[in-house]
């Protein structure tokens, strides 16, 4: 095997090992967040010590583990699960994991561009509430949310405790009806320098970018959000079904 | 307003404009992929020319637009939609967008680590098929897939046309039954140098990382995959429901 082929093979193997370890780390299977020694991992994965070291380096670069000479490898960053099916606010989603607080960076009434009016079903020029929040879990920055709200449900939020409440719960109280459904788009993007600073993440860090249009139960769109989650703090979880029709037949 | 506050405000405004433009670009609303001139965008978004320029720079860095002096801004990279509910192979998902081809980088029988055996419901040491594919759409790299398959459905794949077929369709033929459900985890990670090279993406590019365990209709797990999608080529789309119980009551 040539040198290049060997290097490629080692990188391929490191990726395999990293993927399997990532899942174990995220699911918290290592007691006290302490990974087994390199030799044990090498034996478990049928890999060389060098491959295991490469895999641990990949996970370190993702912000998942710390490596300390003489001490070993420990899980450094917790990744929180976020469902892909039920429509929940962040505090509702993460209530088992700690306290969500929201720093309001901006809150104002604006005449929105047509890209916003159209999606919220408003006439051109109809004002909306624009809200920008930095959301933290247990004090650590988790996401930066840009929110456009239709005026009748958005305006009462000026008097609400936005710092300690999800918008969703407040909206339901104001509207006197539950929320219904939301359309969701999910992408991976690199953080621009300013966003990275706000989220206290490395420049260029991978972000989960969510765009979500939420409707009241009566079908009217009320809340358009653009959310940047730190990629190293969140995993989205869901399930998929092969069959699409109600009888569950093979398509 | 101090200089720092002004810089922050401009960066915040650029992010707002970029988010609205991103959606319009991804949904293909600009005729011939040509964005309006900066002055028109500034007026549309009620923003300064400098803010619009900053926003276009953000989108350029995401690989979404090209900027050409004298010509203007054009959409450069198509982003393909991928559903978050139905379990589909890549060729099935993207059939309207072009041809998916798969380059098999590795295919071999291995004794898997316990992290794989456990998830596939196998006894320790039971061999599995390991398969690594670089998947392209219309010749452009889209994802790198690492796949572990239980032996009885995986072994016949050695004789199958993996280059031009989704695994899912082949598995259903081999198993004589449809697939059922899959559990999915979705994360944003930065590409390590080797993965970036394989996917022909910039070093550190944001990737959508999917881990998916697929079951046959009878419930048995057969296919464990670790998929790295190029973040600039794919958006995931789905919907969320506020109510969880069958009556759709307010929780």
Residue B1 pLDDT grade (very low, low, confident, very high; cuts 50, 70, 90) = low
Asked if B8 lies within 8 A of A45 by C-beta distance, the reply is no
Query: What order do you get walking across the sheet with A206-216 strand by strand?
Result: A100-110, A128-137, A140-150, A221-230, A206-216, A179-190, B234-241, B80-83
Q: Are A232 and A200 in contact (CB under 8 A)?
A: no
* SS3 state at A179: strand
CATH of the domain at A32: 1.10.10.10
**CB-closest option in B61, B84, B235 to A187:** B235
pLDDT of residue B244: 66
Same domain, A136 and A115: yes
pLDDT of residue A1: 57
Mean pLDDT across B181-202: 95
pLDDT of residue B126: 96
Same domain, B89 and B212: yes
The mean predicted confidence, pLDDT, of chain B is: 91
Among residues A75, A93, A117, which one ends one of the domains? A75
pLDDT digits (tens, 9 = 90+) for B127-167: 999 999 999 999 999 999 999 999 999 999 999 999 999 99
A205 at interface of B, judged by CB pairs closer than 8 A: yes
Residue A84 domain flag: yes
For residue B61, the chain A residues in CB contact (below 8 A) are 190, 192
CATH of the domain at B170: 3.40.1410.10
Residue B247 pLDDT grade (very low, low, confident, very high; cuts 50, 70, 90) = very low
Mean pLDDT across B34-63: 93
Residue A55 backbone phi and psi in degrees, to 5: -65, -45
Return the H-helix or E-strand segment holding B55.
Answer: helix B49-61
- B207 pLDDT higher than 50: yes
Mean pLDDT across B188-202: 95
Q: Are A54 and A20 in contact (CB under 8 A)?
A: no
Structure token pair of residue B90: 């890549």
- B250 pLDDT higher than 60: no
Q: Are A84 and A237 in contact (CB under 8 A)?
A: yes
**Dist CA B134 CA A156 (whole Å):** 51
pLDDT of residue A32: 87
Asked if A241 lies within 8 A of B192 by C-beta distance, the reply is no
Interface of A with B in 83-102 (CB under 8 A): 84-87
A140 to chain B, closest Cα gap in Å: 18
Instruction: Tell me how long chain A is.
Output: 251
Same domain, B18 and B84: no
Among residues A24, A54, A75, which one ends one of the domains? A75
Structure token pair of residue B2: 């101090």
Mean pLDDT across B73-81: 86
Structure token pair of residue B132: 């690594």
Mean pLDDT across B213-218: 97
Give me the percent of chain A exceeding a pLDDT of 70: 96
Asked if B11 lies within 8 A of A194 by C-beta distance, the reply is yes
Among residues B47, B75, B103, which one ends one of the domains? B75
pLDDT digits (tens, 9 = 90+) for A137-173: 999 999 999 999 999 999 999 999 999 999 999 999 9
Same domain, B9 and B107: no
Asked if A226 lies within 8 A of B188 by C-beta distance, the reply is no
A189 at interface of B, judged by CB pairs closer than 8 A: yes
Cα–Cα distances (Å) from B44 to A174, B73, B100, B124, B162, in that order, read 31, 16, 38, 62, 48
Same domain, A32 and A119: no
CA neighbours within 13 Å on the CB side: how many for B84? 23
Residue A250 domain flag: no
Same domain, B69 and B123: no
Residues with Cβ within 8 Å of residue B152, at least 6 apart in sequence: none
Return the H-helix or E-strand segment holding B63.
Answer: none
Return the H-helix or E-strand segment holding A158.
Answer: none
For residue B234, the chain A residues in CB contact (below 8 A) are 187
Residues with Cβ within 8 Å of residue B241, at least 6 apart in sequence: A85, A86, A87, A180, A181, B248
Show the CA angle centred on residue B132, arms to residues B127 and B136, nearest 5°.
155
- The DSSP secondary-structure symbol of B141 reads E
Same domain, A101 and A142: yes
pLDDT of residue A191: 95
Mutate: best of B46, B240, B243, partner A, most A CBs <10 A = B240
Mean pLDDT across A129-138: 96
Q: What is the CA radius of gyration of chain B?
A: 22
Same domain, B68 and B85: no
- A31 pLDDT higher than 70: yes
* SS3 state at A33: helix
Same domain, A58 and A13: yes
Residue A242 domain flag: no
Residue A137 domain flag: yes
Residue B103 backbone phi and psi in degrees, to 5: -95, 115
Compute CA B208 distance to the chain's CA centroid, rounded to the nearest angstrom: 5
Residue B242 domain flag: no
pLDDT digits (tens, 9 = 90+) for A44-83: 999 999 999 999 999 999 889 999 888 899 998 778 888 8
- B251 pLDDT higher than 60: no
Cα–Cα distances (Å) from B71 to B68, B200, B204, in that order, read 5, 27, 30
Cα–Cα distances (Å) from B62 to A118, A209, B9, B76, B205, in that order, read 25, 12, 21, 10, 9
State how many domains chain A has: 2
Same domain, A151 and A216: yes
Domain of residue A19: give its range.
Answer: 3-75
Asked if B180 lies within 8 A of A238 by C-beta distance, the reply is no
The mean predicted confidence, pLDDT, of chain A is: 91
Residue A216 domain flag: yes
**Dist CA B107 CA A174 (whole Å):** 57
**Dist CA B209 CA B227 (whole Å):** 6
**Dist CA A251 CA A217 (whole Å):** 31
Same domain, A10 and A127: no
Closest chain A CA to residue B41:
A113
Q: Are B207 and B188 in contact (CB under 8 A)?
A: yes
A188 at interface of B, judged by CB pairs closer than 8 A: yes
- Inter-chain CB pairs, A–B, below 8 Å: 220
Same domain, B212 and B94: yes
A79 at interface of B, judged by CB pairs closer than 8 A: yes
Using a 10 angstrom Cβ sphere, with 0-12 exposed, 13-18 middle and 19 or more buried, the burial of residue A68 is: exposed
Residue B251 domain flag: no
């Amino acid at each position: 095997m040539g040198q290049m082929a060997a290097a490629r093979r080692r990188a391929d193997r490191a990726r395999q090992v990293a993927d399997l370890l990532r899942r174990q780390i995220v699911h918290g299977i290592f007691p006290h967040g302490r990974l087994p020694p390199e030799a044990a991992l090498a034996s478990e994965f049928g890999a060389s010590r060098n491959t295991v070291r490469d895999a641990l380096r990949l996970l370190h670069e993702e912000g998942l583990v710390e490596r300390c000479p003489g001490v070993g490898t420990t899980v450094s960053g917790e990744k929180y699960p976020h469902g892909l099916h039920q429509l929940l606010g962040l505090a509702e989603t993460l209530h088992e994991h700690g306290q969500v607080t929201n720093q309001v960076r901006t809150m104002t009434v604006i005449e929105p561009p047509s890209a916003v009016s159209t999606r919220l079903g408003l006439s051109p020029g109809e004002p909306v509430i624009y809200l920008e929040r930095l959301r933290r879990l247990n004090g650590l920055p988790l996401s930066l949310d840009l929110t456009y709200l239709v005026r009748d449900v958005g305006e009462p939020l000026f008097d609400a405790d936005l710092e300690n409440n999800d918008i969703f719960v407040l909206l339901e109280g104001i509207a006197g009806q539950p929320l219904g459904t939301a359309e969701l788009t999910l992408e991976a993007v690199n953080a621009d320098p300013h966003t990275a600073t706000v989220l206290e993440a490395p420049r260029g860090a991978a972000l989960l970018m969510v765009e979500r249009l939420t409707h009241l139960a009566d079908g009217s769109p009320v809340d358009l959000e653009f959310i940047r989650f730190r990629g190293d703090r969140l995993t989205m979880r869901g399930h998929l079904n092969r069959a699409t029709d109600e009888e569950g037949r093979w398509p």
